[in-house]
Chains A and B, each alone.
Chain A
Amino acid sequence: MYLSTVGRREHAAKGKLSAVGANVFALGAVSLVTDVSSEMVTAVLPVYLVLGLDLSPAAYGLFDGLYTGATAVLRIVGGYVADRVRRRKVVAGTGYALSAVAKLGLLAAGASAAAIGAVITLDRTGKGLRTAPRDALITLSAPEPLLGRAFGVHRAMDSVGAFAGPLVALAVLAAVGAADPGAFDAVFVVSFCIAAIGVLLLVLFVRDHRTPRADPKAVSPRAAVALLRGSGVRRLLVAACVLGLATVGDGFVYLLLQHEEDIATGWFPLLAVGTNLSYLLLAAPLGALADRIGRLPVVLGGYGALAVVYLLLAGPVSGWPLIAAALALYGAFYAATDGVLMALAGPLLPESLRTTGISLVQTVQALAYFTSSVLFGLAWQFWGAELAIGVAAGGAVVAIGVTFAVLSPRKATA
């Protein structure tokens, strides 16, 4: 395989977004519906646990910490199984179904902290299982020159769902009356029904791309390990790790904005909404741009946007223009990196092990991201916010350099 595929291409297809194929739209619709369902629950879960069940926040934090390591391992195992049985749709569908069942589990768990923890873990397990096979299916469903666009369309649809979820939850709470103890149950029931619609759409409209049966040795633990030996894949993992380390975490970015601007706490939740809106609007255009000028420049540009966000936070600029610019750029960073990185990774991975490879990339990135947010918290504590964010900006610039060095087109065979 020529690594030059990640660089500029001579004749990227000119065309409409619809050229990415029906399967990408079907997967996008499934993601949209599923995200409405899961964001509904995410929006009300803290309130439900603390006010509905009188659980202390310490218990809640415990739930959240449960899954980071567990799903990382599971994601890779799920990716490998999907490749092994060559049924990516089945593995992704299992993930979607688990998360749907978890919504009913919340009803059944009642107030038992252990049961709620188990249900939340089940939900995250489902999410961990489905992400890599879904992205692998996207890479197999769209023509290679249009992958950036395909991921852009998918991520934009996904964000629409994430955007609508909390609103649907509020509508349900308003209809039942938030003070009514049954209001949360109603949110969970509606969330389950919507998740079930997502699974139904997947079963009916998403087509599995069964890659031709490779010889059995091509999908074995040994082959999966050998994947790591390919210099193309290794470079990809190095890049994913470096880029994950450059990202300090949404929470910190919003917190810094709030410190910088002294935003009334009432506006705080709206900061994430601003980022989401920018991501939603830019995902498809930036994906198309990546197909046209090359995926690497767009990913690097995305990290450039991130560095600018950090500099804005460290710098003396202030006022609403700063907030708007920071949120727009932060959304642009997500739009230019999240899906585009997958579009860049797909062609570098052999078809027979594509899900495994994508799950490796995503896991490395997630763990690096987790590490960097912990480190940033410590840096803030010991050096103060100004210096910490300055170092983060420097880190983002270094990440651009390293990523360019390891992923820039070369004629080396992988």
Chain B
Amino acid sequence: MKVRILIAVAGVLVLAGAAVAYVGFASARGHDVAATGAVSLSPGPRLLFRSTADADRGHVATVSATDPGGPRTVSPLACSRVYAAGGTGLCLRPDGDLTTYQLVVLDARLASQREIPLVGLPNRARVSADGRMLAWTVFVTGDSYNGGMFSTRAGILDTATGDLAGTLEDYAVTLDGKPYQAADLNFWGVTFTADDRHFYATMSSAGHRYLVAGDFAAHTIRTVRENVECPSLSPDGTRVAFKSAVEGDPARGWRLSVLDLAAAKVTPLAETRSVDDQPAWLDDHTIGYGVARAPGHSDVWSVPADGTGAPRLLIPEAESPAALGP
């Protein structure tokens, strides 16, 4: 028995020592990012994005809209997901060094205006054109009505009134004209109309994914059509860019398309790779989106919104694109 206890003590010491040594080695490898300048969110011909380059991974940066592959201005601010419009920014980032997150409302000079804790992993972020309304989506692993799968939760903040809808799950839902309730309601990918009251989003329930139209004032949501995810409303408000699951099955990837709201007509875009992102309108004719290149690395590509042309590499080592303005 004595021998066994000696072996156990020695073994535990060796293994615990190895663990501590590895943690020490990993934390010593920390690296500082040199910010290259002052990023401004004020409207102008610039593209905002999150860098995925090793040197400044996670940092918010901008490039000129006319020379997107050119020099980048990198800020000291790091976010997991970022978006900006009308001089207001939205940054979803880890809250300290823990596995919790927060959303940060940014002014045009990237100063924090308000911080709200988030439960779940940041996934989508949007700001309405005039900068008043903010929306975000997180993945949550608590609602295990499907055995450990993620559910999503979308929230909206009105910066003018301070009204916060932490989740859309308590909105009154109308499905195909009939009131609908279910435990497995999930919402993601909100996009705002110009009136700052209405919005579009994705709703899923019972294996179906719908484009829904919502009303922030009345707290209502109604379905518009099926198999439309991560909608993004064009600047002129006539079309919705979105990703749709190939043959209705997300396991087969997603195809970028544009829906003309008035004509109810869908045009698949020239990008044939699977895109798992909420597309962003760079102008009235161009869609921008991130495509993963390798783990932790993405590029921002662009493609015409009318289904013609071909995808073009816009910003290397970038994701979460947002056009700051004309």
Contact = CB atoms under 8 A, between A and B. Distances in A.
B16 A197 contact: yes
Interface stretch (B64-72, B92-100, B107-115, B189-197): B92-100
B121 A51 contact: yes
B78 interface: yes
B306 interface: no
Contacts of B120: 265
Interface in B107-165: 117, 119-123, 139-150, 152-153
Contacts of A272: 142
Contact of B119 (A170, A173, A268): A268
A244 to B, nearest CB: 14
A43 B121 CA distance: 13
A200 B13 CA distance: 12
B302 interface: no
Interface residues of A, number: 67
A230 interface: no
Interface residues of B, number: 60
A173 B142 CA distance: 21
Nearest to B10: A200
B295 interface: yes
A326 to B, nearest CB: 16
Contact of A380 (B123, B139, B153, B183): B183
Interface string A46-70: 1100111110111011101100100
Contact of B149 (A61, A176, A180, A252): A61
Interface stretch (A84-92, A188-196, A214-222, A309-317): A188-196
Given A176-B27, A178-B99, A189-B19, A64 B296 contact: no
B99 A53 contact: no
B18 interface: yes
Contact of B29 (A169, A180, A264): A180
A266 B142 CA distance: 11
Interface in B180-237: 181-184, 205-206
Which 4 residue pairs are nearest across A and B when measured between Cβ atoms?
A: A251-B144, A111-B295, A57-B150, A61-B149
Given A181-B296, A265-B166, 13 more contacts: A46-B141, A50-B121, A51-B122, A58-B250, A174-B97, A174-B98, A181-B57, A182-B26, A189-B19, A190-B22, A249-B144, A377-B145, A385-B183
Interface of A: 43-44, 46-47, 50-54, 56-58, 60-62, 64-65, 68, 110-111, 169-170, 172-183, 185-186, 189-190, 193-194, 196-197, 200-201, 204-205, 249-252, 254-255, 264-266, 268-269, 271-272, 370, 373, 376-377, 380-381, 384-385
23 contacts: A50-B139, A54-B295, A62-B251, A65-B147, A170-B99, A175-B23, A175-B27, A177-B30, A180-B27, A180-B30, A186-B26, A189-B18, A193-B16, A193-B19, A197-B15, A200-B15, A249-B145, A255-B142, A255-B183, A265-B153, A265-B166, A269-B119, A370-B147
